[in-house]
Structures are given as C-alpha cells and as structure tokens.
A and B are shown apart, each in its own frame.
Chain A
Amino acid sequence: MTAEVLNQTSQAERERQHKLKDRILCCTVAGCLSAGAEAVRTALQEEVQAQGRSSEIEVCGTGCMGLCCRGPLVRSSAADVVYAEVKPQDARALVNGDQSHFEERVIRPDHPFYAGQRRIILANSGKADPELVVDYLAMGGYQSLLRAATEMVPEEIIAEVKKSGLRGRGGAGYPTGLKWELVARHPSPVRYVICNADEGDPGAFMNRSVLEGDPHRVLEGMAIAGRAVGAQQGYIYARGESPLAIARVKTAIEQARREGLLGGRVFDSTFHFQIDVRIGAGAYVCGEETALIASIEGKRGQPVPRPPYPPESGLWGRPTLINNVETFANIPTIIEKGGDWFASIGAKASPGTKVFALAGRVMRTGLVEVPIGTPLRTILFDLGGGVPAGYEFKAAQTGGPAGGCIPAEYLDLPMDYDSLTRIGTMMGSGGLIVMDTSSCMVDVARFFMEFCMDESCGKCIPCRAGTVQMHDILARMTRGEGHESDFAMLEALSGLLKETSLCGLGLAAPNPVLSTLRHFRNEYDAHVRDRRCPAGSCRIPVATEASA
C-alpha cells in the first residue's frame, strides 16, 4: 500500500459510513459474548434484512465499550447512545431507534461511567469493527506508521516517545523511550520486538480486551517500534486461555500483510516488518520477560538471572524490545499527536491514560480508561457507582498477586506509579478489584499466596519452598489455628523471598501479605487471638466452652 492508496481507502470508507443512516455496533469482546452478544448481533442483522434496509443500516461488531456488567452492549452511531442488556427480541426497537422501548437501558455519553473517562487506547472501541482493517483505516489507522516509515528517522521516533514520558504499562513503569534507545543502540544486526500479551493476573482483562477490540492498534504500535529499534521481526506472546484474542490478532496480521501494512517494503519504504503470534500454554511466570523469551524459544518458561537484560541479550541471544500490549497501543497516538500532547495528559511523572479492569464488589464492573493520577475515589464511586448497598468499601487490590491493597484512608490517593508504590502496592497491569466488608483480607492474602505457590516455576528454592510455607501459615490462620509466632515467621519469610528470589514472581509474592498486614493487622489479630473472622467468610469452628 502506498500513502496515496492509504488516504484514498480511509477517505472512501469514512464517506461510505457517513452516508449510512445508522451503524449499529455490537460488542463482540469476551465479556459481552458470554452474555449472549452473538445472538443479538444475528437478530439485528435479520431485522435489518427483514425491513429491507441493508443499504442504509449496517450491523457490525466492535470492541469493548466498558460497561461489561450490563452486557450485551450495542451502540447506535446515529443516536450516539449505548443500549445495555440487549436481547434478541429488542432488535426491532433498536433498529428503529425507539429509545423509549429501552427505558433505563439507554446509556448516554454523559452517563457518569463514561463522563469521567478519557479514551486513547480504547478510542476505537464502540466505533470500529476489530475484524475489518478498513474500519481501522477510516479511524486514521496506520497513518502513524506511514509517517514513521517514510518521514521519520528512528532517532526522531525514539525522541518523540521519550518526550511523551510514556512508561511501561505492564506494571513496572520503566520509561519506554529509554528501553527503545537501549535496543536501538545495540550493534547487533538482528533485533526483535516482542509484545507481552501474557496477561496472567487474575482479575485483569485489559490487554485481552484491547487485542480483541482493536488489534490493529497494537500491530501498528509494534511496527513503529520495529522501525525505531531496527527490528524486522516481531512476536506477540498471547495467552492460550484467550482463544478469541488470538484469533482476532491472527486475522488482523493476515489483513495487514495483504494490504502491505506489514511484511516487505512497508509503504514502499525500505522498512520490513513481520509479526508472528506465539501462544502461551498457561504459565503465569511467562509474563516475566526472560521466562517469556524461553517460552517463545520452545522451552520451559523458566526465568534466567538478569543482567543481561533483554535489550542486550534477549530472544535467541539478540537484543530484544519487550513491551506490554497497552504500551504499544499508545504509540500510534503519540506519533500522531506528538510527545508533548501526550505528556500534557495525566500525572506529570507518569503521563497518559491507564486502562483499569474494574471488578469485584462494585456496582458497575468493566473496563475504564482514565488519565493517570485520577483519584481512586473517582474511579470507584463516580465511574463504578460504589459498593453494593448495605456494605462498606474496605480495600481495592491492584497489581494482582504481585501487588497490594489500597485501604479506605487512601481513597483520595492519585492512581499513579509512584503514589501506589509509596503505600506498598503497585500500578500493575491494571486489575482493580474492589473488596467490601464481606471480604476477609487474610483470606485474600491466602488466595494470592496460593496462586503464587501454584505458579512458582520451581527453579529457585526461596520461591518454590517459601510460597508453600507462607501459604501454610495463612491457611492455618483462616482456619482459626494461627499462633502469635506466625507473624514473625511470615515477616521473616517475606524478607527472604524479597531478597533472594530469582524473578519477579518470587520477589513480589509476599506483597499482598505485607500490604494486608500493614493496613489490616486488626483482621489478622482477630483470626489469631480471638479465633474469629470479622468478615464472616472464613469457616472457623466455634470454640466450645471446654476448649475456650
């Protein structure tokens, strides 16, 4: 594809869509699909056919519109509203634009859930069909790659990314521009780009939704990275548990190849870039970059000591750039609108937006994208609608099994990398799980430790044995069999794991325990001293008169 063809194609598609009376977009991402979105889409298509309006109304799929708890969601572009909990029998009213039929199921853009959001990564979700490359082009897609491949030299691209202040969205928050520079400066003739899509944190579904809802955005970001660091081959390492995301990405790669957006001589330049998908097979540790590399090489996903870091020696010993899905998804917009524009959004030390997966004990669950630095209270109460009636907010868990919890006293804390680290948790990849008074924090700590214990790859002893020991203690506590001496042991083991484990999994495994100990010591005390679970969720046998 040439620049001219790209512009013509996207312009023609924009005009075609503009002429339609309505474009009805059904969410076709995992959450809504399991709520029955496919049947709704079929019913809508049949209704349009039956009314003989196929030429003026188009029904297609789209990415995640966020409010997963009220799926299936369907958006009408003409009316600019989202209909919630749509059933096949609503098809006629929806096609006819009869909003009164839906009553409180009509969600307008000024709904509190949407009003507080700022969408960059999810900009196309609800507007474009992830399975049609031409839809992405109509939204201005691949224009940034065109610029990067034909008008910019690699140094300029890296300078723009550095200027944006973008930090890695996988959790650690390493400055993306610096990482790119490290890879670009390496003298090796062969370099690789890897997209880490092994989103394994329980309660996190941001990356998967981005891949399912806007795969071309990630491909474009990777290709720009390839151009910047001088790589010709990219890999997407996706979770085997997300077959839909894999299928969508594979379709997108195929389309991009066919259109000449990937492959040899992109936009008639000298730039070549291929992307292949590698499928993980269910190992959480493979989110760690050296384990991920081992897995792509067809080996057990076991980490190796760093340094050397992947920018120096990564895939097959070559310099390798590894970024998260969301990091790559930001790149096309940064190239389009400039690093300065991006740096003006969000917090000063961590610009941009962050996608959070809001789940747990909160009224509105789903996917939200907010400027970094938005207070937790805004996310949970304005967007999320607060906790269910009759309960009180207790804590929000971020960072999955490697993170920690944010108690009520920090509700006004800005959600940025540094503030979260200061109170003993982390941004992580964006899972945000809300706990209320019905959740026991000791049991939550046990739950995460069980996860780490199961997922420990077994290579280094502190992690392999330490997680088992820590889990034993926590499990005993939740059964009401804890001892006062367990606290010292938990702290000693935590220190040991944090200091001596080989990779991030073991290093971070004690975090949920330390964080809950720090903020909810009273709950631990209740379990150990009073043999009682304040939340009432642990099954502690009631002490008899004799034993008490």
Chain B
Amino acid sequence: MSDDRDKLLERAIARHQSSGDALIEILHVAQQLYGYLSRPLLKTIARRLKLPPSRVLGVATFYHLFRFSPPKAHSAVVCMGTACYVAGGTELMAALHGRCGANPDKWTMEAGRCLGSCGLAPVVICDGVALSRVTPAQLEAVIEETHDGRSS
C-alpha cells in the first residue's frame, strides 16, 4: 500500500520534472495520497524538488487546505460564508461543539470557508455529505444517529 503511494508521488514529481514551481501541485498530490503532510513527507518533497525544507514548510503552512496531522474518524465543517453566517452559522457551530466537543479525538470540527452553496444556507458538511438549510436540532440528530457522536 505505502509503496504504491510512494510510486504515485514519485510519478507526480516526475511529471513536473522535479521543478520547484510545482511545489503546491506536489503538496496537493501528497496530501491526497497520505491524508496529511507529515514532517518526513515534507522533507522528502524538499529533497526531491531540490528546495530548502524551510521553503516547503513555509509554503505548506501558508495555505489553509494543507493538514499536518492525520485526519480524524469524522469531520464536520460548518460553512461560515456570509450567507450561512447570516442564516445562523454561529448557532450551528455551538451545537456542533456541544455535541462533539467531548470527543476531540474522533471529530474534526471546523468553521469552513464559503462552500458556494449559498442558495441552501446554512450548510454543514458532515463526513463529506452536505446538509443544507440545516437547523441545530437537525445537525445534532444527524451526528447522533449516523456518526456515534456521544460514545467514546
């Protein structure tokens, strides 16, 4: 499994002729393959692209979409774009924390950037599924029934 991922990463680097310009592209590929960007992984990328590790870490940490720790079992992203904020994003965030806050190891809870589904505001993405025009009660119910929000 891990061999495959290494090979795929290597292929992506080769496709960009090991060019430092492609750093962000390579980081995207690496995160897709491994789920997150570990320090050893960043070092490998730096070596392969012939860039100082400081440059690679600097670029990776500049952008919001790159993660540096393994993804948790579940994730909930409350959209905090203007439309969702006006439609009650804050209450949804409070409900989410109330329901999952006791389980920080299992849940990634995030206030997300505008998802662009403003016509359906407020929106929460729960394990990749978009819940639209969701109320705090509905969100709690979804967490409870499908994602085992309370148990450890």
Tell me the complex Cα distance, A253–B28, Å: 20
Q: Cβ of A205 and Cβ of B82 under 8 Å apart?
A: no
Interface flag for A203 (CB, 8 Å):
yes
Tell me the complex Cα distance, A279–B22, Å: 11
Interface flag for A69 (CB, 8 Å):
yes
A34: chain B residues at CB < 8 Å are 117, 120, 123, 130, 132
Q: Which residue of B lies closest to A242 (CB)?
A: B116
Q: Cβ of B119 and Cβ of A69 under 8 Å apart?
A: yes
Interface flag for B87 (CB, 8 Å):
yes
Tell me the complex Cα distance, A150–B119, Å: 42
Tell me the complex Cα distance, A279–B82, Å: 23
Q: Cβ of A203 and Cβ of B66 under 8 Å apart?
A: no
B23: chain A residues at CB < 8 Å are 298-299
Q: Cβ of B63 and Cβ of A365 under 8 Å apart?
A: no
Interface flag for A413 (CB, 8 Å):
no
Q: Cβ of B24 and Cβ of A35 under 8 Å apart?
A: no
Knowing A299-B59, A301-B62, say if A203 contacts B25 (CB, 8 Å). no
Q: Cβ of A433 and Cβ of B22 under 8 Å apart?
A: no
A447: chain B residues at CB < 8 Å are 82, 85
Tell me the complex Cα distance, A301–B130, Å: 29
Interface flag for A499 (CB, 8 Å):
no
Interface flag for A116 (CB, 8 Å):
no
Interface flag for B143 (CB, 8 Å):
no
Q: Which residue of A lies closest to B55 (CB)?
A: A299
Contact code string B111-129 (vs A, CB < 8 Å = 1, else 0)? 0011111111101000000
Contact code string A186-201 (vs B, CB < 8 Å = 1, else 0)? 0000000000000111
Residues 288-325 of A at the B interface (beta carbon under 8 Å)? 295-302
A365: chain B residues at CB < 8 Å are 83, 118-121
Q: Cβ of B123 and Cβ of A435 under 8 Å apart?
A: no
- Which of the residues A282, A367, A448 comes within 8 Å of B65, measured between beta carbons? A282
Min C-beta distance of B129 to chain A, whole Å: 9
Knowing A71-B120, A359-B119, say if A298 contacts B24 (CB, 8 Å). yes
Knowing A281-B27, A298-B23, A361-B86, say if A30 contacts B63 (CB, 8 Å). no
Q: Cβ of A297 and Cβ of B64 under 8 Å apart?
A: no
B81: chain A residues at CB < 8 Å are 202-203
Interface flag for A357 (CB, 8 Å):
yes
A80: chain B residues at CB < 8 Å are none
Task: Report, as a range, how many residues of chain B touch the other chain.
Answer: 35 or more
Contact code string B86-111 (vs A, CB < 8 Å = 1, else 0)? 11000000000000000000000000
Tell me the complex Cα distance, A241–B116, Å: 9
Residues 177-223 of A at the B interface (beta carbon under 8 Å)? 199-205, 208-209
B85: chain A residues at CB < 8 Å are 202, 447
- Which of the residues A35, A202, A241 comes within 8 Å of B82, measured between beta carbons? A202
Tell me the complex Cα distance, A357–B84, Å: 13
Interface flag for B145 (CB, 8 Å):
no
Q: Cβ of B82 and Cβ of A200 under 8 Å apart?
A: no
Interface flag for A439 (CB, 8 Å):
yes
Interface flag for B9 (CB, 8 Å):
no
B80: chain A residues at CB < 8 Å are 202
Min C-beta distance of B141 to chain A, whole Å: 18
Min C-beta distance of A368 to chain B, whole Å: 11
Q: Cβ of A30 and Cβ of B117 under 8 Å apart?
A: yes
Q: Cβ of A359 and Cβ of B82 under 8 Å apart?
A: yes
Q: Which residue of A lies closest to B62 (CB)?
A: A300
Min C-beta distance of B49 to chain A, whole Å: 9
B65: chain A residues at CB < 8 Å are 240-241, 281-282
Interface flag for B21 (CB, 8 Å):
yes
Inter-chain pairs besides A282-B65, A361-B87, 8 sampled, C-beta below 8 Å: A34-B120, A34-B132, A68-B117, A202-B83, A242-B116, A278-B25, A298-B25, A358-B119
**A residues apposed to B, CB below 8 Å:** 30-31, 34-35, 67-69, 71, 199-205, 208-209, 240-242, 278-284, 295-302, 357-361, 365-367, 397, 400, 431, 433, 435, 439, 444, 447-448, 457
- 23 pairs, A vs B, C-beta closer than 8 Å: A31-B116, A31-B120, A34-B117, A35-B120, A35-B132, A201-B114, A202-B80, A203-B114, A203-B118, A204-B114, A204-B116, A208-B116, A209-B116, A242-B116, A279-B25, A282-B63, A297-B21, A298-B25, A299-B59, A300-B62, A360-B87, A361-B86, A365-B119
**B residues apposed to A, CB below 8 Å:** 19-25, 27-28, 58-59, 62-66, 80-83, 85-87, 113-121, 123, 130, 132
